[in-house]
Amino acid sequence: MDSETLRKLKELERENAQLKPMYADLSLGHRILKDVIEKKL
């Protein structure tokens, strides 16, 4: 791999590391809301 490809890979890895907890938080929030709605119906 050339240096530009490695740089892009590292950048994507950093971005992925930031997005994973964001996704987990949103997913949990979605699950909680879904559970609340199901209990009300």
Question: Which stretches within 1-41 are classed as H helix?
Answer: 3-40
Domain locations along the chain: 1-41
Tell me if 6 sits within 8 A of 13, measured CB to CB: no
Q: What is the pLDDT of residue 41?
A: 74
Q: Which residues contact 9 (CB under 8 A, 6 or more apart)?
A: 1
pLDDT per residue as tens digits for the range 1-41: 899 999 999 999 999 999 999 999 999 999 999 999 999 87
* pTM over the 0.75 mark: no
Phi, psi of 36 (to 5 degrees): -60, -45
Q: What is the pLDDT of residue 25?
A: 97
Q: What is the pLDDT of residue 40?
A: 83
